Amino acid sequence: MSLWQLDQIRIVLVEPAGPLNVGAAARVMKNMGLHQLVLVNPHCDPHCEESRRMAVHGSDVLAGAKVVSDLPTALIGCERAVATTGRLHPQAQPLDLPETALPWLLPTQPEHRFAAALVFGPEDRGLSNEELIYTQRWVRIPASDQYPSLNLAQAVAVCSYLLHRQVLHGALTETFSPGAGATMGGHLAPLEQIEGFYQDLEIVLLKIGYLYPHTAPSRMAKLRRLLHRAGPDSKELAMLRGILRQVNWAVDAPQQET
């Protein structure tokens, strides 16, 4: 049975502290047809005996796990990223159900494959607001109000199962507008390209006085949500960066003339 839609999905664990969780995540990934495991600054030895023993027949997934230093590096090459969170956040960003958001990570046509990531936070704190902004959508697994926080490996299991079930059923529907590029059969701009745009945008907006250092993070978070909803492709994002370069030149030009 072909599960090609799952081939480009990365399961990203940010700063995992428990080797048993890492091994259990590798095992359930193997169960559900997922292969790419990325560990961001792990606080344990992912290849220790405990982890390998927990992985069982998922040892190849564990052995192939990629270790990186930060979340942006883990997302290089991805067009889409969904983050999991167990907390309600003050930002206006909505929290989706996994059944709603996870199908968005899956391509509907073999010729339009793209890399995507599903991101999980550390066991003790989950993903911070600063980490969440690197992803386009956030999901919260419904649970009892008395104890809503799931174990890391359990959260990976729930989401991996839903992805696997979605592929088996073939009910791949777009429940979130992916932007013009994706709608027309193209590709969204890679997340590292979008991140470079955000950095350029913040510099220009600070320079022209639209942003102030003490309000920049909250304003930029809102601008990020706007651009994520638009879902530009690489050419559209290059056009926006060209506008920023021209604005930056226009601001600096009078100073150069004097």
State the CB neighbour count (10 A cutoff) for residue 127.
24
Confidence check: pLDDT of 87 > 80: no
pTM here is 0.84
Specify the 3-state DSSP secondary structure of 12. strand
The pLDDT tens digits of the residues spanning 175-191 come to 444 454 454 446 889 99
Judged by DSSP in three states, 251 sits in helix
Average pLDDT over residues 132-159: 92
pLDDT band at 171 (very low <50, low <70, confident <90, very high): very low
Provide the pLDDT for residue 191.
92
Give the pLDDT of residue 92. 59
Same structural domain, 137 and 188: no
* Separation CA 117–CA 82 (nearest Å): 6
More confident call, 164 vs 215: 164
20 vs 188, which has greater pLDDT? 20
- Of all residues in the chain, what percent carry a pLDDT higher than 90? 69
CA dist., res. 230 & res. 154, Å (int): 33
Residue 46 in this model has a pLDDT that exceeds 90: yes
When pLDDT is averaged across residues 130-146 and rounded to a whole number, the result is: 92
Indicate whether 22 and 51 sit together in one domain: yes
Average per-residue pLDDT in the chain?
88
DSSP assignment string, 120-132 = E--TTT---HHHH
In this structure, the answer to whether residues 20 and 114 fall within a common structural domain is yes
Same domain (yes/no): 165, 197: no
Tokens of 8: 């480009």
Same domain for 220 and 160?
Answer: no
Which has the minimum average pLDDT: 151-155, 184-188, 241-245?
A: 184-188
Number of domain units in the chain: 2
Q: Dump pLDDT digits (tens) for 196-241.
A: 999 999 999 999 999 999 989 889 988 998 888 888 999 999 999 9
The residue among 46 and 254 whose pLDDT is bigger is: 46
Q: Are residues 146 and 235 in the same domain?
A: no
Q: Which of 137, 169, 201 is the last residue of a domain?
A: 169
Residues 60-79: pLDDT tens digits?
999 999 999 999 999 999 99
Which residue range is the domain that position 84 belongs to?
4-169
On whether residue 164 sits in a domain, the answer given is yes
Distances (CA, A) of 100 to 144, 153, 161, 162, 212: 19, 21, 14, 10, 36
Mark whether 142 and 14 lie in a shared domain: yes
Contact 39, 8 (CB under 8 A): no
At 40 the pLDDT is 98
